[in-house]
Structure 1
Amino acid sequence: MHEQSVKVTIVGAGSVGVTTAYALLLSGLASEIVLLDIDQARAEGEAIDLSHAAHYAHAKVRVASSYADCAGSTIVIITAGVNQKPGQTRLDLVKTNYALFRTVVPEVARNAPDTILLVATNPVDVLTHAAFELSGFPVQRVIGSGTAMDTTRFRHELGKHYGVNPRNVHAVIIGEHGDSQIPVWSLASIAGMRLRDYCSQKGIAYDDAAMTEVARRTRGAAYEIIQRKGKTNYGVASVLVSIVEPIVKNSDAIVTVSRVGIYEGVGPVALSMPCKLNYRGAHQDVPLLLDAAEREGVKKSAQSILDVIVSAKGG
């Protein structure tokens, strides 16, 4: 897919939506960025401001007057919804945002029937499942940002602990983008070596307590940020662009994103596993080789998300 033809529509011109638009603009991945928001005046103000940055980035930024402006979008990113407040879990947001998706997703699907939906609104796994059902799209064309952010945080924390660049840490968080997420310790590696082997080669002790703390900081990062500044936006915007890139470039990159499926016998439910991303969407080509405890963690995570889906539908 040639980048000159790439149109990305962002539904929701709040903090995450506009930060994503800005990051996308600077990335050069899209030739056209469309903002769609119920608050037209705010969206227009953001688009004008972004257009001044677009002078240096060579992309067109405009505001949608209706859902009809989604037509022809390569990707539609949904960031609209109520934000998480201090003390709230992502799952606490479900009723309000599920109701919103009942309005938004069918309109997007009707006007952009060939697009890829990228969901960022929390609780992202529950809403990725909602977007899949409400759009009628094939499973690979409905993607949640999922634990891509948690995976980035996990690698950052491990890199900091071991004194290496996070890019050289290969480790993933799977399951729910939330409290039941699972750090995959059995596969985590640096320089091609599992962490225990890396420690052995380096002549240092493998510290279980430190690793538990790394997982805790990863899981609690959003709460810490929200407690201090009231929202998260820069990290998630960067992660959304990192999901857009392999789709636009058709690069078959493996990214940990949320997708609907059956996980450890539970489902259908959306949760995160490493997926191959290209212009057709997200593909789970190879099951992750997990140990027994991690598989049990996935099962529990899937069940907790499924319980919320059932509750949201009933509400």
Structure 2
Amino acid sequence: MLKFDYLSVEMAFIVGEHGDSSVALWSSISVGGVPILSHLERQQIAYEKETLEKIRKEVVQGAYEVISLKGYTSWAIGYSAANLARSLLRNQRKIHPVSVLAKGFFGIDGGEVFLSLPAQLGRGGVLGVTNMHLTEYEAQQLQNSAKAILEVQSQLEI
């Protein structure tokens, strides 16, 4: 059993396209500064990738559920916009998943595609994409997300 009392818990970034091919970066979660997946592996605590994928799908489906119940998701959008504005105006240099030109990052190549990636924000806007360690699986999923967007772009002749 993991105990998280009085520890700083970082939430996972959701990156890629905004929707079905989004990618949860489970490797980005840390508790008290310790990467959680590494900790689980070192302690030989089993976790299943299928369980993590089920959680990601529930997050994606959560937006559809909110829309079906109240018709829109304005609170989450408003909160996100305010959080981004705070980082920009206060020059906080915090990391946020925002849409950036993804070509050249995390093995993404083959065309100009904009995806949500963890980027540092400050008064000058996007100061840079954060060089995070992704698992092989996460990197492959992110590359698949880029391919999905590139396919749509080619169909639209963009």
TM range (shorter): 0.7 to 0.9
Deviations 1:7-37 (A, max 9, x none): xxxxxxxxxxxxxxxxxxxxxxxxxxxxxxx
1:247 paired residue among 81, 88, 101: 88
Q: Where do 4+ consecutive residues of structure 1 move more than 3 Å?
A: 162-165, 196-201, 203-207
Give TM-score, length-normalised by structure 1.
Answer: 0.43
- State the Cα distance separating 1:163 from its structure 2 match: 6.9
* % identity of equivalent residues: 25
**Contact conserved, 1:275 with 1:282, CA < 8 A, in 2?**
yes
Residue identity matched to 2:67: I
- Aligned equivalents of 2:129 and 2:28: distance in 1? 17
- Bigger radius of gyration among the two: 1
Aligned residues: 153
Partners in 2 of 1:227 and 1:265 — Cα distance? 36
Query: CA 1:254–1:293 in 2, change beyond 3 Å: closer, same or farther?
Result: same
Give structure 1 stretches of 5+ with no counterpart. Answer: 1-161
1:231 to 56, 72, 76: 72
- CA deviations 1:142-200 (Å, max 9, x no partner) are xxxxxxxxxxxxxxxxxxxx8779x7224211111111111112332222223245557
Instruction: Choose between structure 1 and 2 for higher RCO, CA contacts under 8 A separated by at least 6 residues.
Output: 2
Residue number in structure 2 paired with 1:212: 53
Distance in 1, matches of 2:59 and 2:147, equals 22
Preserved contact between residue 16 and residue 23 of structure 2 (Cα < 8 Å): yes
1:44-78 deviation per Cα after TM superposition (whole angstroms, max 9, x unaligned): xxxxxxxxxxxxxxxxxxxxxxxxxxxxxxxxxxx
**Alpha-carbon distance in 1 for matches of 2:109, 2:82:** 32
Aligned position for 2:155: 311
1:311 Cα deviation (Å)?
Answer: 2.7
Q: How many Å separate the matches in 1 of 2:131 and 2:68?
A: 36
Q: Does 1:291 align with 2:135?
A: yes
User: What's 1:63 paired with?
Assistant: none
Q: Distance in 2 between matches of 1:303 and 1:273?
A: 15
The structure with the greater share of residues assigned to helix is 1
Alignment of 1:18-167 (within 5 A): none
Q: For the residues of structure 1 that align with 2:95 and 2:46, how far apart are their CA atoms?
A: 28
2:111 partner SS: strand
Instruction: Determine which of 275, 297, 303 is the counterpart of 2:119.
Output: 275
Quote the RMSD (CA, aligned, Å): 2.9
Does the aligned pair in 1 maintain the 2:117–2:129 contact within 8 Å? no
Name the TM-score, length of structure 2 as normaliser: 0.80
Which digits, 9 at most, give the CA deviation of each residue in 1:273-309, with x for residues without a partner? 1111111111324422222222211211111112222
Contact 2:66 2:72 in 1 (8 A): yes
Change (3 A) 1:295 1:238: same
Q: Secondary structure at the match of 1:272?
A: strand
In 1, the alpha carbon distance for the partners of 2:137 and 2:40 equals 22
Q: Distance in 2 between matches of 1:285 and 1:225?
A: 31
Structure 2 residues not aligned, in runs of 5+: none
